[in-house]
Copies of this chain bind each other. A is one copy, B any other.
Amino acid sequence: MGNVMVAAKARSSSRSKEKIREENELIILIAAEKVFAKHGLKGATTKQIADMAILPKSNIHYYFHTKLNLYRYVLESILVDWMKAADTFDTFDEPREAIRYYVGAKMDLSRTRPFGSKVWANEIISGAPVMEEILSSRLKKWVDTCVNSINTWIELKKIVNVGDAHTLLYMIWATTQHYADFEYQVKILNNGKRLTDAEFEEKKQQVIDLVLRSVGLNP
């Protein structure tokens, strides 16, 4: 028993201030992502976030000061992940491969980080009051390059002329994010059972094939 105490003490002592901050911020961010996903910015309470993080409420305020501030951090963190996945769009010359990888990556993100997607969806649905600036600067810029890629493919007759490249992009976003944002509906319509990993891989392939055919490519 004394050993346990000593070990606990030692472990506790070895946590540097830096590590403590790092760990707690992460714990809070993960908890906040879940709570914001379920209740939105206004609906989420700092108490819920604190309970989810198994920390006293004051601790949340100590690290992030205000709820709005914490919300911003959550959204920023999601955007970083999304942008990373989005890079694959440029790394392939052939639209078949580019689309295959991009859609695949977006599906994977919907599977691995569904709460982030939901927070984002919530933010946009409620009028993007917090992210408007970032949308019209960072995201707009990225979308423009994406649109350029697609238009080049169209000019080179590598894919069908879809009219406005945005329409294709939105279809990809909407379809892939559906599996995160509407996962409860998907679950209910799958006889109440969450998709297994194997099932999800199937759907991913099907989505990829749908998108490829939609631009005139044979999967």
A164-B203 contact, Cβ under 8 Å, with A135-B189, A136-B192, A210-B171: yes
Q: In whole angstroms, how far apart are the Cα atoms of A126 and B183 in the complex?
A: 10
**Interface membership of A213, Cβ < 8 A:** yes
**Interface membership of A11, Cβ < 8 A:** no
Q: What B residues does A41 contact at CB under 8 A?
A: 43
Shortest Cβ distance from residue A121 to the other chain B in the assembled complex, whole angstroms: 6
Q: What B residues does A160 contact at CB under 8 A?
A: 213
Which 7 A/B pairs are nearest by Cβ-Cβ distance?
A42-B43, A174-B178, A214-B214, A174-B174, A163-B206, A43-B43, A167-B206
From A32-40, A52-60, A91-99, the one touching the partner chain is A32-40
Known contacts A37-B126, A163-B209; 16 further A-B pairs (Cβ under 8 A): A39-B40, A40-B40, A121-B181, A121-B182, A122-B125, A124-B181, A139-B189, A143-B189, A162-B210, A164-B203, A167-B210, A170-B179, A170-B182, A170-B186, A171-B175, A173-B178
Shortest Cβ distance from residue A207 to the other chain B in the assembled complex, whole angstroms: 6
Q: Which residues 97-156 of A sit at the B interface, judged by CB distance below 8 A?
A: 118, 121-122, 124-128, 132, 135-136, 139-140, 143
Contact of A126 among B39, B171, B214 (CB under 8 A): B39
Q: What B residues does A175 contact at CB under 8 A?
A: 170-171, 174-175
**Interface membership of A184, Cβ < 8 A:** yes
Interface of A is mostly: helix
Interface centre among A132, A164, A171 (most CB of B within 10 A): A171
Closest B residue to A211 by beta carbon equals B214
30 contacts across the A-B interface (CB closer than 8 A): A37-B125, A37-B126, A38-B125, A38-B127, A39-B43, A39-B126, A42-B43, A121-B182, A124-B185, A127-B184, A128-B188, A135-B189, A136-B188, A139-B188, A143-B189, A162-B210, A164-B202, A164-B203, A164-B206, A166-B189, A167-B203, A167-B207, A173-B178, A174-B174, A174-B177, A175-B175, A210-B214, A211-B214, A213-B214, A213-B215
